[in-house]
Chain A
Amino acid sequence: MSLVKCTLKELQDRFTRGDVSAVEIVRAYFLRISVVESKVKAYITLNDKETLLSQAEALDHALSAWRKTEPMMAMPIAVKDNICTEGLPTTCGSRILGGFVPPYSATAVDALLAQQYFLIGKTNLDEFGMGSSTEYSAFGASRNPWNLSHVPGGSSGGSAAAVAADECVAALGTDTGGSIRQPAACCGVVGLKPTYGRVSRYGLIAFASSLDQIGPITKDVMDAALMLNVLAGHDARDSTSADKAVPDFTRVFKKKDVKKLKIGVPLEFFAEGLDEEVYDAVGEALAVLEDLGGTMEEVSLPHTGVAVATYYIVATAEASSNLARYDGVKYGFRAKESSDLLEMYRTTRQEGFGQEVKRRIMLGTYALSSGYYDAYYAKAQAVRTLIREDFDRVFQDVDLLVTPVMPTPAFQLGEKIEDPLQMYLSDLYTISASLAGVPAISLPCGFSRKGLPIGMQILGRPFEEDVVLRAARAYELATDWRKKRPRIR
């Protein structure tokens, strides 16, 4: 089998055994990239091939005496371009960070570096993670490997497309309201948003601090568990990271069923607006889970209807403040020839940010303004608590929830770009888990008649990623969706 078709687990095994060298891995992936990248446009910045080759040579040489490997050693991994990588430009898909090269790496990247992974490149995203299609990237949209006229989803569309197109073995994404799960569903791969606080945010360039999480985008559920093993853990540099024990997330895979698990089906997620094909695919997936020993139960999350509105106040309010630092003073882009400070601020931000980012900064600024704070931000926080309580309540009864990831399969490029509200609604099913901070995975559960992947979402209790992964893996093994690969043309 071609190296680039391997899952992370398969590639790890082959490298560990010495069946394949680090140099061969780097060569294979760069060859693949040279064939498909011009069509998929998954990357903003590719790492230097020669640099990686010399790292690979050194690694092979070091291992030639005594083969002692680590799980991520020599694994070609892509990193979303809103995660800081020392020495490699990090753009957030924005002009405003033009020329910015971070002097430090994110904690999540450091964890991979410590095991000598290979950073293949930095993947495309909607500017600062604000979008659901990568069309809001200042570097142009990425394409869906299953159908190049469709979007790969977003904002981690570059990462999802790169994994689906075999341009890396796994990737890091970030999820604020669905930005890992939604593109994973669009591209037919697996995307895991861990519990808020599970993975350090240090070095993740903030969109909305109380929602942002780093997580893996992988070819299957096993790989997601392997990645989470490396990424998870407390970080003293992130005050919001949780000081919780990190289990070996692959341990639960000994069980190949979902026996004794109670699975909730929230009615609000199967209501009006859900595409029929998606409805059917998720419905069939529920039947598979039932066959695997799960007990099904209808549940209700009554505040689901206000989740999108709540999200767009909380997230934009935080973003309006988080993005204030891009002022042209210290790093990144600065507009030329301003006559005074105020003009420099204005023109820098006017020219540096894209439309959607400016729209959200304005929304958030408004929501926090004196006189509006109570009506918007404070109210949204109160509703967020209610949404969290909805989850607390149903999770007293059921172990997991199963829902669609997005209302439709991937839409066409340009289809929603002029209609922000329609674009926002594509996050309908993913936003609740973000507001509640609970873990959620997106995995393939079928294809549309047009041949586009459909995803299902499994949500669990806070810090119970292991339970989520167990159910997802059992489903994955009971079906063949992961074996279907896109033909890029």
Chain B
Amino acid sequence: MTFETVIGLEVHAQLQTQSKMFCGCATEFGLPANTRTCPVCLGLPGALPVVNKHAVEMAVRTGLALNCTVRTTNQFARKNYFYPDLPKGYQVSQYDRPICEHGWLELQANGTSKKVRIRRAHLEEDAGKNIHADAGSLVDLNRAGTPLIEIVTEPDMRSADEVVSYLKSLRDVLMYIGVCDGNMEQGSLRCEPNLSLRPVGSDELGTKVELKNINSFKFVKDAIEYEIKRQTKVLSEGGTIIQETRLWDIERNQTAVMRSKEEAHDYRYFPDPDLVPLVISEEWIEELQATIQELPRDRHRRFLHDYGLPDYDAGVLTSSRALADYFEACVTLFAEPKLISNFLMSEFLRELHQAGTTVESSPVSPERLVGLLQLVHDHTISLKVAKEIFPELYAGDKSAAQLVEEKGLRQLSDEGELLSLIDAVIEQHPAQVAQYRGGKGTVIGFLVGQAMKRSGGKANPQKVNALFKTRLSP
């Protein structure tokens, strides 16, 4: 029997607010344990939560970007369970009245695109961290109370590739609208797939397994593919799948049982009586809608259409809002999209990467970068020279034109000078000249190369090529 894989995804994204979900503590990380805490996030007796308006705004904007309906009246609920990193013994989350519902997001896989339905997106607070030391276990509550948005899809994905693509699209959207830094390794974005198999053609859902501990795109793919194989084997051998939560084991490249359905918590959700229902007016939603600019998928399409870029280029450039903005700033100054795109995707990103910096803090402004590419376009310098001097342009504050002048890198285009170079090459390499004349056209490459070498790389290669051809024509 062949099986179809059915996957739904829960993603927790950490919202980039200045302060925590229900108190004024800063959301900074890497600080000494328990230094970003107060009575509220420590769960001290008598302390009460107050909703962070910015977190609500970010959640609404996320919902809007994911084509969701925003609930005008939504409610926080308590999820009750005991764990040392959960100071109140419950997590404030949302249950039957989440802030956003019924959206969708498009993914691209295997050359086609597909809409994944989003069931809900809700606000909640993060827990702290348990640290296991020799002397015993310690608790750091700096992270406790950090705002999260949990985004839950319908079981609409059918392969690991689709999940990875969905996740990348989601990350792009969240980063684009500035609500999450998208860092999976550091836990700003966490995903938990629910996976089940069913016979091809069946409409019923099989027993699902929830996967946890997946903190990179690679692990997402590996864990899902492993789990598909495991479940296929169980079912093919006539076994049944047990509803359980399994952890991805990075060392062994396999999933292992964390807890079964019987051990699952009864969270005893109920509306949090400390928080009145959150009312979001239509006006507020409209205001927030206006802050959401073009999303990656739409911009990608526009780049294909307006700039005639290949799909690959449009994909790379729109993967981050800052890069797409930078590209468009360049194109406004200089209407050579493909030349700009090539240079941004190679030299520019490489240089940023090496310096460990971001597009936003690039020391090279679009003006200076365009200045360089204009010199290439009007043949003042070759692309090769442009690439060579880019690190200097990046490191200093001179314009490209200044650098070219100072270094005498201006391309040699004067016909007279070029002809004397060419004549010298012809004189030196009579054998190759004879070959060319004898009909072996490829030799011209060697001859042009020699001329370039003599010019110290400054000769205009297209011109040299053309001049050789006239010179050597019968």
Contact = CB atoms under 8 A, between A and B. Distances in A.
Contacts, number: 99
Interface string A359-400: 000000100111001000100000000000000000000000
B266 interface: yes
Interface in A54-99: 83-84, 90, 92, 97
A369 B266 CA distance: 7
Contact of B45 (A102, A208, A240, A373): A102
B410 interface: no
Given A102-B45, A377-B270, A325 B89 contact: yes
Contacts of B269: 368
Interface stretch (A137-145, A199-207, A246-254, A460-468): A199-207
B261 interface: no
Contacts of B268: 320-321, 365, 368-370, 373
A199 to B, nearest CB: 13
Interface residues of B, number: 29
Q: Which of B39, B269, B273, B275 has the most CB of A within 10 A?
A: B273
B274 A324 contact: no
B273 A205 contact: no
A90 B47 CA distance: 13
Interface stretch (B77-85, B215-223, B424-432): B77-85
B48 A237 contact: yes
A345 interface: yes
A324 B44 contact: no
B48 A201 contact: yes
Contacts of B39: 103-104
Interface in B40-54: 42-51
Contact of A205 (B45, B51, B89): B45
Max count, chain A CB within 10 A of own CB: residue among B78, B269, B270: B270
Contacts of A202: 46-48
B86 to A, nearest CB: 9
Contact of B44 (A238, A321, A331, A370): A331
B90 interface: yes
A323 B80 CA distance: 11
A238 B274 CA distance: 8
Contacts of A306: none
A106 interface: yes
B138 to A, nearest CB: 10
B276 A239 contact: yes
A317 interface: yes
B155 interface: no
A450 interface: no
Contacts of B119: none
Given A106-B46, A206-B274, A325-B88, 18 more contacts: A83-B46, A90-B46, A102-B44, A102-B45, A104-B39, A104-B47, A203-B46, A203-B47, A206-B45, A237-B50, A240-B273, A240-B275, A320-B80, A321-B270, A326-B89, A327-B82, A331-B44, A377-B270
Interface of A: 83-84, 90, 92, 97, 100, 102-104, 106, 201-206, 208-210, 236-240, 317-318, 320-321, 323-327, 329-331, 341, 345, 365, 368-370, 373, 377
13 contacts: A97-B45, A102-B45, A106-B46, A205-B46, A240-B274, A321-B268, A324-B88, A324-B90, A327-B82, A329-B87, A341-B137, A368-B268, A373-B270
The 7 closest A-B pairs by CB, nearest first: A324-B89, A209-B273, A368-B268, A210-B273, A205-B45, A203-B46, A84-B46
Interface of B: 39, 42-51, 78, 80, 82, 84, 87-90, 137, 139, 266, 268-270, 273-276
